[in-house]
Amino acid sequence: MKLSRKFVAMTVAIALSHTAGLQVAQAAMIATDAVAVASADAQIAARRAHVMDTLNRADVAQALRDKRVDMDAARARGASLSDAEVTQRAD
């Protein structure tokens, strides 16, 4: 019994000592301009989704159909908007 406990304890100690060297952490600074670009990209993506969601609403789709606007063309136009146009229409 004592031998098996000692064996298990030694095995666990050896296993833990080998895995301790595998834990590696790496840290780096993130430039402010990289954060700003990522934030701007996320905002544009959210605004683009808002514009497309608005086009897909039933009441908006019906109003456009009443004015004889092709919904496929409207969606294609919405998808091809530039970033400035998306910002202007989403605000």
Distance CA 10, CA 73 (A): 72
Query: Which residue in this structure is represented by tokens 């497309």?
Result: 52
For residue 85, with 0-12 CB atoms within 10 Å meaning exposed, 13-18 middle and 19 or more buried, which class applies? middle
One digit per residue, pLDDT tens: the chain, 91 residues? 566 888 888 888 887 776 666 666 778 888 888 888 888 889 999 999 998 999 889 999 999 999 999 999 998 998 898 988 888 887 7
Helix H or strand E segment including 65 = helix 58-66
Q: What pLDDT digit, counting tens, does each position of 67-88 carry?
A: 999 999 998 998 898 988 888 8
